[in-house]
Structure 1
Amino acid sequence: MTGIPSLADLVWARGYTDPAWARRHTTSGRELVPSRSVWRGLDGASALPAAPAGALDDLTFTGPHGQSLTLTELLSRAETDALLVMHRGLLVHEEYLHGYEPHVPHFNASAAKSYLGLVAAVLAHEGHFDRGTQVAKIVLELAGTAFGDAQVDHLLHMGTQMSYAGRPYDKALEAQRYFAVLAPQLRPYGYTGPTTIREHLATARATAEPGAEFRYENGNVEALAEVLRRVTGTTTSALLSEMIWSRIGAEEDAYYLLDAEGSEAACGGFSATARDLARLGEMIRCGGAIGDRQIVPDAVASTIVSGVPDGYPHRVRFPAAPPEAPATLSYHDLWWIPNDPYGSFMASGIHGQRLFISPALDLVIVHYASQVISPSVPQIPLVQAFLKIGTHLCG
């Protein structure tokens, strides 16, 4: 990679209007704020048997303006850092761009929400908590807040409505305020707001009954993470390591970014290598198992698509979609569901991070990118591209 920015200057890149700045952020998180490892365990890395499918290079894809793009052109426009495609358990495509290296953990952004949702679903399935329990009964200091008044299941489906510190709710501004809580260098001069995630959550007041509407908001995930810490008595990092990361044959430790009191940024502060994320996806695709070893109960892994509870919206709009876009997706346990014919679902992050799993196509795709987020920069239709890859491989 050329022209890489200095970490010391990253504070001046608020908004990440250049992909090089975004890429510096997505690959260097633990150099910017404190972090905690998600241990890979003592076992050796599990194999990712390869069977390259060179024919993918001959495919054409539809771009954001309806133009025809080759795979190389698509990845370039998506500011792709890594693309891994697994089909029927074989690694058929693995590509790294812009100097990103396979052993370096990459920022997953909001894709991390789905991994926490998986952990929560397993713990609920095993009886560690009841989804219908009011959050304040588990996390006492959230009593009287929008999250404390909600049930755990509301958090898992983005079912709360709130305003923070009496402000009118604005999704983009609240996301920036959350980043300021986590990273002191992102705080404006004279900042007097919350300095920890829990302090931030404590300022949330309900503006509607929980469960009435879908609103994609980081606070739901941070409140859920605190619930899981109280229920299990351990950190988010240790919990993910014990339940999943140390059991999938990961090659590298993953890590979470931490706030000032050592709580993980569960809604988006997670980084891992693309190969290890592919292992996670394969485990889920195979009903929660790796070979004859069950990692996640099949009853959890097989109901991500079918488990949207009654009373919740079954069609929602992707956060980056324009207001006039139709609501076509579903959302369950912090996973996005495209409602395609193949039972697909995905974890999704703001800069183009995707873990895409399509059981009927026997497909797992990991996409890491450093996209600029701006109304003037059209987003690449990645899901359509993934489905074309999957149907081609099945053909």
Structure 2
Amino acid sequence: MTGMPTLADLVWARGYTDPAWARRHTTSGRELVPSRSVWRGPGTASALPIAPPGALDGLTFTGPHGQPLTLPELLAAAETDALLVMHRGTVVHEQYLHGYEPHVPHFNASAAKSYLGLVAAVLAHEGQLDRGAQVAKYVPELAGTAFGDAQVDHLLHMGTRMSYAGRPYDKALEAQRYFAVLAPQLRPYGYTGPATIREHLATARATGDPGAEFRYENGNVEALAEVLRRITGTTTSALLSEMIWSRIGAEEDAYYLLDADGTEAACGGFSATTRDLARFGEMIRCGGAIGDRQVVPEPVASTIASGVPDGYSRRVRFPAAPPEAPATLSYHDLWWIPNDPYGSFMASGIHGQRLFISPALDLVIVHYASQIVSPAVPQVPLVKAFLGIGAHLCA
């Protein structure tokens, strides 16, 4: 959107700037709207070896204004709820703040996009999903929409351009409208818009050719999730449980938030504990395996950062970055790639949620937060901090 929002649009701009709203929703999602469990499976939880405390003592980091910060100061600036650092398969630091507890699932926000991207990549590797197929082949109801006329691979790389219901596209406002689809309590008085995710997707019309450029938009992931449901004949929750969660030795069920149709909010409605997300990340770091058990095909797990197709190798800008920030990241199968020397990649959510995996540094970091999103609150350079932690641990 260009210029000031209209008075009618102002209601959609609230939410991200309210710290109480952020923390309430990141830790209590299933108390607010319906949810569906992602079953951990029948087995016992896998062990997480724990090193003696003190591995990160004395480290300093760079703050949002370039100032030096201690670890406690960094975590305070990032509104951190939990930080777990694994190095070479051992937990070297685990910390919980603001009353958040290890057994409580925490909202992952858009980090959930990457988990669905991994599931899609596995199904494509196994021949069940055709990346080059038009989405409407799998979901005929989306024919004529921006997503139905795109290819599956366009969804996996945020390669569509669209507007919803004829509105000028504005990323932040459309994110708020998407949340209103899920949660009636977030709808303004007199709301008459879509009441389900499928209704929301049906209003999207293309404003440019798919694959021409990167545009970060939730609808790509929701359309992809519907494709995977049609292919497998099961829910997103059951699919993630069957393919991933029940096979990593998770301690707790995860869960997805649901819309009025009972459809999972695949683009960001996922919650899991810190330790279980660390188990998931460690499995990926180890080439898709846990011990001698292969959970994800090795060619899929090992090429998240290196398998970016030529057409998608262009650099992109992080969603929360200011417009003048340089485009330094890549994006592949819904994972962010920092293009550092260590082959790192990450899942990232709006309030500071990160699953950071760095194969060359033997590093997995889970960071949960309730960061305020506002131009008045500079974002903490978490990736730089994570790389500093990895370099310190490898020294």
Say whether the fold is shared (TM-score over 0.5). Answer: yes
Quick one: distance in 2 between partners of 1:18 and 1:148? 35
2:292 corresponds to which letter in structure 1? D
| Structural mapping, 1:1-395, within 5 Å | 14-395=14-395
Deviation at 1:53, TM superposition (A): 4.8
Distance in 2, Cα, partners of 1:12 & 1:23: 19
The alpha-carbon distance between structure 1 residues 13 and 105, as it changes in their structure 2 partners (threshold 3 A), is farther
SS in 1 for 2:311: coil
Is the contact made by 1:52 and 1:91 (CA closer than 8 Å) also made in structure 2?
A: no
Unaligned runs of 5+ in 2: 1-10
Aligned amino acid, residue 373 of structure 1 = V
Specify whether residues 33 and 298 from structure 1 end up closer, same or farther in structure 2 by C-alpha distance, changes over 3 A only: same
Q: 1:223 to 1:12 in 2, by over 3 A?
A: closer
How far is 1:309 from its partner?
1.1
8 Å Cα contact 1:14/1:186 also seen in 2: no
The amino acid of 1:351's aligned partner reads H
Post-superposition offset of 1:52: 3.1
Distance 1:148 1:13, change over 3 A: closer
Cα pair 2:285 2:362 within 8 Å, conserved? yes
**1:22 positional shift:** 1.3
Question: Which residue is equivalent to 2:3?
Answer: none
What code does the residue aligned with 2:54 have? G
* Alpha-carbon separation, structure 2, partners of 1:318 and 1:12: 22
Q: Which amino acid aligns with 1:295?
A: V
2:8 matched residue in structure 1: none
Residue deviations 1:312-363 (CA, integer Å, cap 9, x gap): 2520000001111110000000000000000000000000000000000000
Q: Which letter maps to 2:70?
A: T
The answer to whether the 8 Å contact 1:57/1:72 transfers is no
- 2:30, 2:257 within 8 Å by CA — same for their partners in 1? yes
Q: CA deviation at 1:14?
A: 4.6
Moved over 6 A (4+): none
**SS of residue in 1 equivalent to 2:179:** helix
Aligned length: 385
Deviation per CA, 1:129-185: give whole Å up to 9, x if none.
210000001000000000000000000000000011111111011001101111111
Q: State the secondary structure of the residue aligned to 2:310.
A: coil
Query: Using the alignment, how far apart are the partners of 1:218 and 1:289 within structure 2?
Result: 30
Which amino acid in 2 is paired with 1:21?
W
Percent identity over the alignment is: 89
SS at structure 2 position matched to 1:22: helix
Comparing 85-94 and 20-29, the one that deviates more: 20-29
TM-score, L = length of structure 1: 0.96
- Contact 2:146–2:161 (8 Å) recurs in 1: yes
AA of the residue aligned to 1:392:
H
**More displaced stretch, 49-58 vs 132-141:** 49-58
Instruction: Give, as a single letter, the amino acid of the residue that structure 2 aligns with 1:107.
Output: F
Q: What SS does the corresponding residue of 1:352 show, helix, strand or coil?
A: coil
Deviates more, 1:63-72 or 1:19-28: 19-28
CA distance in 1, matches of 2:124, 2:325: 34
Compared CA separation, residues 331 and 63, structure 1 to 2 (3 A):
same
Cα distance in 1 between the residues matched to 2:335 and 2:12 = 33
Q: Is the 8 A contact 2:312 2:331 kept in 1?
A: no
Shift of 1:24: 1.2
TM-score by length of 2: 0.96
Distance 1:112 1:123 in 2: 17
For residues 13 and 21 of structure 1, the distance between their equivalents in structure 2, rounded to whole angstroms, comes to 13
Equivalent position amino acid for 2:182 in 1:
L
Stretches of structure 1 that go unaligned for 5 or more consecutive residues are 1-10
- Superposed CA deviations along residues 88-142 of structure 1, whole A, max 9, x for unmatched, are 0000000000100000000000000000000000000001021000000100000
CA distance in 2 between counterparts of 1:339 and 1:14 reads: 33
How far, CA to CA, are the matches of 2:275 and 2:179 in structure 1?
27
The secondary structure found in structure 2 opposite 1:83 is: strand
Other-structure match for 1:6: none
Secondary structure of 2:181's aligned partner: helix
Distance 2:188 2:325 in 1: 34
Distance in 1 separating the partners of 2:134 and 2:372: 38
SS at match of 2:23: helix
After superposition, the Cα gap between the structure-2 partners of 1:53 and 1:360, relative to the gap in structure 1 and judged at 3 Å, is farther
Q: SS of 1:242's equivalent?
A: helix
